[in-house]
Structure 1
């Protein structure tokens, strides 16, 4: 950690407090999460005994909670637990149960519960209390769109000079392996994120939001620039981010939105949720092997090329090993400390880790079992399904519902990415909390109640002068 990186993380708390002081609370929450995730330094943390590590995510969560207590304390009382909150509650409790069932002790369980709550529970909770209506969803959509416009020039710079901005600003590279930034005949930008895959998913989200804000009539221009030009700019940037997976997510996201626009149905979204749920079921029960995996690899070869298909095959092979071990503790998993991984003796007789955990789903399954796996993906799928049934696709093209609809699409596409990668993003967790809160709110009445039809007697003037005043 360099001094400037430590300094930025230390002053983030007063910056967030200032945002709450000078901005509306909802805008301050959205700005704090987006700015922290896009610009704060990587791999910087401060450790405090008995508390979760103070890093980019926890610093933002602590700061917003403190600001809420100071400037908006009544907001905390607005939270009412609902059935859509059950998956996130279970996901936060799972580390404690997994530790206890693996005899790792209550201290380990409580530590894991606090870490999970700070990473997932608090962003979800803040989304529930701040973004739980259509106005809040629009605020988040605008935040993602504007951040995409700000991030795009930085992505274009790094696509030419290679990922260097983190080193220039903070004095060290934020990525783990520089070789992974070389893709498709150029450089894959990282900017201030941990991996180019995270940048790809974020720019995918910004592009889809820009398209739908334009098509739903929310924006026809921004910064005095027509929206079609801004959408084109984000599209070109998205291509130069060089993330094959993000390309495919974008294509499917556009399909979902176009079908909603022209056919007025949400079938592609529901089909994706169903397909992902079925895939996770097959994977967790050890039935995703053989012909099923070979078919997907063959399709990936035709679409993305042999190199990407080989990467996918490598992941499937490792997941098969990890699932075999996960089946031994299928309910609540193996707990932490790498106990979910597969070990074997090498040529020197030393025990070494022979497994690679690339995706969130296999990590959740191995560490917290099918309960944890169902909870983390259920926290995304259930709010999305509830939204699709409460707000039919016929309403998605309206300026009022459109921003929320595209946020729902993005969160499901993020879940798709989580079946292949483990690129955590608290902004999407914030979004799922907002969607859940929106769906748990009582629907507004179609019209105001009619007033009594009984006519109000008119007071007659008592004098001629009063009669003249009535005229």
Structure 2
């Protein structure tokens, strides 16, 4: 439970977003509504009303952005617009949890623990939740179409990282205290934020790993602007990039630091074609990972041994994650297509005493356990399609600036999807980012088709 200020902040966020939509472009207002909510709203505090998902850090910024687009700027956002795979995956994404709930009406008794069956109430609530989750994806797809919109996204992310770094560095030095001081409680295990004789920053994001991933994304954005030879406000983009790299290292997350270093090197040194190839490779790994894990052909042990050569503690942590994945995957395969649903039914419990013996770290295993194979296909398919679209349309783009942003954006989105294997970093602003990539790719394809039609007419 948060203090009075936590609830006040949640209540004021829609009013702040309305002000943004009245004074800024719809693109800038959307970016700061979603990014600001992610960076500053309290973690875990919510207002839970019947039949609808809780109003919290994730849902309030999304609904604020949705209402701001529709009623303040009069920009219509349609969830089922367009054709092809995206439309069908969205339909599956929204209705699949309803089917899952209806197929999990049985109660479970295990080791003295009671897990209730899911009801039609749960089914409807799950559908509404899925609808809210996917809104930023379509705002990005429909309202961020131009090169300038894409550049605005990169600059907003870099600027957000630059401003937030002040709070992050404070907690690196003083320990993660800001959420407790401002909202009255610490949102996670304090012990997990202690690494290498110091602290991971948590600020108002909830966990040091999520902060580190955010830092990696903001660093990548600064590197893109550096590659474009542009500035971030009055600051040198190269200077900002080096500074954010230092901040990322101080976040003490091996995976996110690797993401940031790799993105910096690829954007600055690799060709556009190779950046797109690596983005495609990472997406394919993410999509095939569950199948490879089920068939025992993914090199889990080799990764643990490699990690051991770098850091024994990180190897132990990685092995722990893989062990839990294996248990959860075996449990999930019992209801392979539609999953176990909510109420903790996707977790593994001791047969004798009912103790929860599982840890769900990766987004992929959470989705697979709750919503099954079809749920995984729907969610990860929506994350993957924008990257494939960007790779496809890149062959039609002639502008060097547009190619730099398109390739870097695809690479950035591939880091998002690959991070869902060890971690769960999906947030509304991440869905917005991926949706912007799809919208930009579709706009470039439409521009090419119009050019071809006009050329044909002239002939």
Distance 1:52 1:448, change over 3 A: same
* Secondary structure at 1:193 match in 2: coil
Residue 168 of structure 1 deviates from its aligned partner by: 2.3
Paired residues, number: 441
2:252 corresponds to 1:242: yes
Q: Which residue is equivalent to 1:421?
A: 423
Alignment of 1:64-463 (within 5 A): 64-76=65-77, 80-83=81-84, 84-103=86-105, 104-118=118-132, 120-173=133-186, 175-217=187-229, 219=230, 221-258=231-268, 260-261=270-271, 266-283=276-293, 286-288=294-296, 292-303=299-310, 305-346=311-352, 350-392=353-395, 398-441=400-443, 442-444=446-448, 445-446=450-451, 449=454
Displacement, 1:181? Answer: 1.0
User: Any stretches of 5+ residues in structure 1 without a counterpart?
Assistant: 454-471
CA distance in 2, matches of 1:430, 1:261: 26
Which stretch has the larger CA shift, 136-145 or 206-215?
136-145
Structure 1 395/171 Cα, relative in aligned 2: closer, same or farther at 3 Å? Answer: farther
How far did 1:116 drift?
2.1
State the shift of 1:452 in Å: 11
Contact residue 408 and residue 435 of structure 1 kept, 8 A: yes
Q: CA deviation at 1:29?
A: 0.5
Residues 133-171 of structure 1, C-alpha deviations (whole Å, 9 max, x = no match): 433222221110110110111111111001112222223
User: What is the CA deviation profile of residues 96-155 of structure 1, one whole-angstrom value per residue up to 9, with x for unaligned ones?
Assistant: 01112223332221111112221x211212222222443322222111011011011111
Q: Report the structure number with the largest CA radius of gyration.
A: 1
Question: Deviation at 1:446?
Answer: 4.1
- Going from structure 1 to structure 2, the CA distance change for 1:242 and 1:264 (only over 3 Å counts) comes to closer
Q: Given the superposition, is the C-alpha separation of residues 149 and 351 from structure 1 closer, same or farther in structure 2, using an over 3 Å criterion?
A: same
Instruction: State the alpha-carbon separation in 2 of the partners of residues 145 and 381 from structure 1.
Output: 24
Q: TM-score, normalised by structure 2?
A: 0.89
Cα contact 1:264–1:394 (8 A) shared by 2: no
Where does residue 458 of structure 1 map in the other structure?
none
CA gap of 1:79–1:99, structure 2 versus 1, over 3 A, is closer
Unaligned runs of 5+ in 2: 106-117
Q: Alpha carbons of 1:393 and 1:362: their partners in 2 closer, same or farther (altered >3 Å)?
A: farther
Query: Aligned partners of 1:171, 1:124: CA distance in 2, in Å?
Result: 33
1:408 is paired with a residue whose SS is helix
User: Could you say what secondary structure the match of 2:426 adopts?
Assistant: coil
Note the C-alpha offset of 1:234: 0.9
Contact 2:30/2:65, CA 8 A, preserved across alignment: yes
Mark the CA change 1:241 to 1:77 in structure 2 (over 3 Å): closer, same or farther.
Answer: closer
8 Å CA contact 1:144–1:206 kept in 2: the answer is: yes
Could you report, residue by residue, the CA deviation over 1:24-56 in whole angstroms, capped at 9, with x for unpaired residues? 111101110011101111111111112221111
